[in-house]
Amino acid sequence: MKLLENTNQRVIFFSITALGISSIITQVLVMREFLTLFSGNELVFGIILANWLLLTGIGSYLGKYVDRVKHKINLLVIIQILVALLPVAHIFVIRAMRTKFFLAGQLISLGEVFATSLILLLPYCLISGFLLTLFVVVYSKKGGSKQIGIVYFLDNIGDILGGLIFSFILIYLFTHFQSAYFILFLNLLAAIVVSMFFRKRVLYIITGLVVMFSITFLFAVNLDIVSTKMMFKGQELVLQKNSLYGSLVITRSEDQLNFFENGIPLFSTENTVNNEETVHYAMSQIGEAEKVLLVSGGVAGTTNEILKHPVKRVDYVELDPLVIELGKRYTTNLEDDRINLIIMDARLYIKKTKEKYDAVIIDLPDPSTAQINRFYTVEFFKEVKKIIKEDGVASISLSGSENYLNPETQRLNSALYNTLKAVFKNIIIIPGDKNFFIASDKELTYDIAGRLKEKNVSTQYVNEFYLSGKITQERVDYLMNSLIKTSINKDFKPISYYYHLLFWLKHFNTNYIFILILIIILLIILLFHIKPVPFAIFTTGFAASSLEVVILVGFQIIYGFVYHNIGLIITAFMLGLAIGSYYMNTNLGKRKLKNLVRIEFAIAIYAVILPFLLILFSRLAINQVIFSLTQIIIPILTIILAILV
């Protein structure tokens, strides 16, 4: 396949590649920013991805009217300038949305997620989709299916390069705005090259002025600081920094430091009540503790509470090294020599460690994402049980209420209780705004104040006076009697994740059943009004998008850090598309219908096999070598999926 037949095409080739590079980087940047804005889970990710594909498709469709344009090169340069500028604007507007259109702490509904992302993505997606069709016309004046295939192949090559650049360079060295400026200057360079070659003097001058303005603006205004301050209005911004695992922000409210990751509150320092409850409810149940495992939250000060007990060592596991680095910089909570810092995924550490602990304290948010849900499953609790001593305890918490559980909170707490009960003989629940679950095979007691007094542990809040009103027989009986029978929460049957989703959706007066029925009716209407071959193409695209989301969620469940790998997985998908595009372009016209039937059948088989492979990878992940290998295998699975479509 001869790609570059003349100089004109070589110039356009550079512009197409620049569009591909910028499209994939913009997609990943915008995805990460939206996840932070919406404190999002995988459902939010799916909605944003669907909007991106929908709008880009509409933009490509609108490109059919490009033949009516007389000066196509002029239009191409202007649109490429817009493609350069929009990513910077998108990131700024997304961050500004949080305080301009939503109240602080407000839960954002799925409808608002859909509408907001649709509106914000509309300019870039429509323009980039339109530009791709414009490239088809300009690059292949003679027309023909092969020339069209070449354009899409080159765009995919750009996508792959963009994904690799982001995943292996930009994410490590630059902020989101700096990455957006990389896109800006790349596309402006492409616009300058096209303007010079086609002798568009006015456009060349305009592009040069845009470059000069952009450079001046880059050095004059720190958009990262300005936009992050807007997101956390009313709080003093201490630091904003991106890591492999998320966007980490530290704010100050009086003497308290607040840590946020991807918009979700991780913990706050000086929150003595929470720290004492998290630690002493569990530690009061055991005698002389030697070793304690703490999963997250140590920077907040829980380590100090653990060290009030005569322990020899606290193993504190945190996934993100940046959290530890900033914890050391801004607090004194990690200075004691008895604290052993472990930087890795806590689930993997618990799977592979040979240590035995007196207590395992899990200090994590509710299971609002597939990543966090991994720490609420029966598989995880079985792993925890293997590393605690015979008389050891495990502790975990969940949103609750001291006096009343609504149906959603009731199901959520019941699922956790039933899941723990499937592993441990005894469970007690300490009621409150947070319900603390203590699990063990030994007898447990509600006499926490008495136990702490016996151990001579000094506390500010968790004492006889505080607990006498909190742990009453009436409250305990009400809570235990409120528990209902539910399914066990499992890695690949995440019922707690589902219940938390219902808990989230309950805050909004939206009839999602009606919306689902409406979508099904529309699909049925489409089935009866579309010809077989276009319908097969539609179902192939639908299956590809759905299976890509399944792969992302599966990756999140197994490894717990899809945030870093969004770019890599999307790049793998684009690589598969490029391979498939090249193959079909070179074999165009050969047994078209027969090939389509084979592809549809192969996708169906792929959809059946994929869940079993993900479960297998999850079970094999205990071994570090296999754990690393499967991180390579999953992108390969993504490539195979993309080749098929």
447 classed as catalytic: no
- Between 598 and 418, name the one with better pLDDT: 418
**Rounded Cα gap, residues 346 and 386, in angstroms:** 14
Which candidate in 363, 441, 447, 491 is catalytic?
363
Residue 109 has pLDDT above 80, yes or no: no
Indicate the range of 60-74, 293-307, 344-358 predicted with least confidence.
60-74
Q: Residue type at 78?
A: I
Instruction: Please report the DSSP string for 137-200 in residue order.
Output: HHH-TT--HHHHHHHHHHHHHHHHHHHHHIIIIIHHH--HHHHHHHHHHHHHHHHHHHHHHTT-
Average pLDDT of the segment spanning 487-500: 91
pLDDT at 146: 62
Of the pLDDT bands very low, low, confident and very high (cuts 50, 70, 90), residue 489 is very high
Note the pLDDT tens digit of each residue in 69-103: 788 888 898 999 999 999 999 999 998 887 777 76
Tokens of 53: 């594909």
Mean pLDDT (the chain) is: 85
* Contact indicator for 512, 110 with CB cutoff of 8 Å: yes
Measure Cα distances from 227 to 84, 88, 94 in Å: 20, 11, 9
pLDDT at 507: 67
Residue 435 has pLDDT above 90, yes or no: yes
Note the pLDDT tens digit of each residue in 29-45: 998 888 888 876 777 88
Closest to 360 measured CA to CA, from 393, 316, 389:
393
pLDDT at 622: 62
Q: Residue type at 606?
A: Y
* Contact indicator for 165, 26 with CB cutoff of 8 Å: no
pLDDT at 601: 84
Q: Is 301 left (phi over 0), alpha (psi -120 to 50) or beta?
A: left
Average pLDDT of the segment spanning 242-264: 82
Paired with 267 in beta bridges are 259
Note the pLDDT tens digit of each residue in 211-233: 888 888 888 888 888 888 888 88
Paired with 249 in beta bridges are 240, 260
**Rounded Cα gap, residues 447 and 470, in angstroms:** 12
* Contact indicator for 358, 290 with CB cutoff of 8 Å: yes
Tokens of 69: 């344009």
Q: Residue type at 617?
A: F
* Contact indicator for 335, 316 with CB cutoff of 8 Å: no
Tokens of 302: 């829980």
* Contact indicator for 121, 254 with CB cutoff of 8 Å: no
Measure Cα distances from 513 to 185, 495, 505, 518, 618 in Å: 46, 19, 12, 9, 32
pLDDT at 561: 64
Tokens of 68: 């009516």
pLDDT at 325: 92
Note the pLDDT tens digit of each residue in 540-580: 777 777 888 788 778 778 777 665 667 778 788 888 877 88
Residue 3 has pLDDT above 60, yes or no: no
Residue 630 has pLDDT above 80, yes or no: no
**Rounded Cα gap, residues 146 and 153, in angstroms:** 10
Note the pLDDT tens digit of each residue in 449-458: 999 999 999 9
Average pLDDT of the segment spanning 48-55: 89
All structural domains of the chain:
1-234 (1.20.1250), 272-494 (3.40.50.150), 510-645 (no CATH)
Measure Cα distances from 26 to 34, 46, 266, 516 in Å: 12, 17, 27, 30
Residue 142 has pLDDT above 60, yes or no: no
- Between 370 and 86, name the one with better pLDDT: 86
